[in-house]
Amino acid sequence: MTRPHLHIQNLTKAFTLHQFGGKQIVGCSDIHLELAHGEFIGITGKSGAGKSTILKCIYRTYIPSSGRMIYHSDTHGFIDLAEAKERDILEIRQKEIGYVSQFLKVLPRVTALDCVVEVLVETGTDKEAAVAEARTILRHFQLSESLWDSYPNTFSGGEKLRLNLARAMVKRPKFLLLDEPTASLDQGSKASVRDMIIELKKGGTSMIGIFHDLDFMETVVDKEFNMRNGIMVGGHA
């Protein structure tokens, strides 16, 4: 029997508000999730339901309060992301996991093209090939060539999101996390996202995504789960 790409057991993340006498806020509680190789799971729920907390725990932006997240890594075999050493997490992020956030975080005075090129260079791609691949994916996401030599902090919200998508998807990661990948996008840009997701799935990429756009989600995911008040309350294929 093939073991899952990611197996989450009893995942809980609580935040301590020290300025309020140590009050605890639960972001997510007792999450169980199993992601097969090449599968795409979509998570829905109202804002504040705990969806992003799950993604940030997997990516280790947040350190889980309890639980296990057994990930099948090319480099490390089966590894618990909840307890993995920071250097191992950084290596897995660099080589295997992509993350699409609604918010673009890049170094100042780095052009849009270089933002994508550097992702490929970090994985070992030579500079000339990296530039060619970066140009191709920026065209795919309809980011105007006039912007390629500009600084992303001047971009609109939709342009920043398309750049984020290009950065995360250009390395064709083994595992991809998507936090509202179509927020602020027009229909043409959404079609570009859908096409790239389908292409990545065909290549074997496993994905977990957060969505408010349910119509879009249903065109790409294999299973759906719903969050309410930090708890996963249901799902279906």
Per-domain boundaries in the chain:
6-236
Give backbone dihedrals phi and psi of 38, rounded to 5 degrees, phi first.
80, 5
Nearest to 45 by CA among 234, 237, 230, 227: 227
Q: What is the pLDDT of residue 1?
A: 58
Q: What is the pLDDT of residue 21?
A: 75
Beta bridge partners of 110: none
Q: CATH top-level class for 6-236?
A: alpha beta
User: What's the whole-model pTM score?
Assistant: 0.92
Structural tokens at position 172? 């064709």
What's 82's DSSP letter? T
Structural tokens at position 143? 């980011």
* Distant-in-sequence, close-in-space partners of 108: CB < 8 Å, separation ≥ 6: 151, 153
Beta bridge partners of 6: 35, 71
Nearest to 57 by CA among 81, 78, 87, 79: 81
Q: What is the mean pLDDT of each run of 10 residues along the chain (237 residues)?
A: 89 88 88 96 94 96 97 96 96 93 75 94 92 97 94 89 93 95 90 95 96 94 95 76
Residue 129: count other Cβ atoms within 10 Å of its Cβ.
12
Q: What is the pairing mode between strands 40-44 and 206-210?
A: parallel
Contact 148, 179 (CB under 8 A): no
Query: Under DSSP, is residue 205 helix (H, G, I), strand (E, B) or coil?
Result: coil
Element holding 215 (H helix, E strand): helix 214-217
Crossing angle between the packed helical segments 127-140 and 157-169, to the nearest 10 degrees: 130
- Tell me the per-residue pLDDT of 80-107, one tens digit each, with 9 for 90 and over: 999 999 999 999 999 999 999 877 676 6
Q: Distance (Å, rounded) from C-alpha 199 to C-alpha 140?
A: 12
Nearest to 122 by CA among 94, 83, 160: 94
- Tell me the per-residue pLDDT of 65-81, one tens digit each, with 9 for 90 and over: 999 999 999 999 999 99
Query: Under DSSP, is residue 193 helix (H, G, I), strand (E, B) or coil?
Result: helix
Q: What is the pLDDT of residue 22?
A: 76
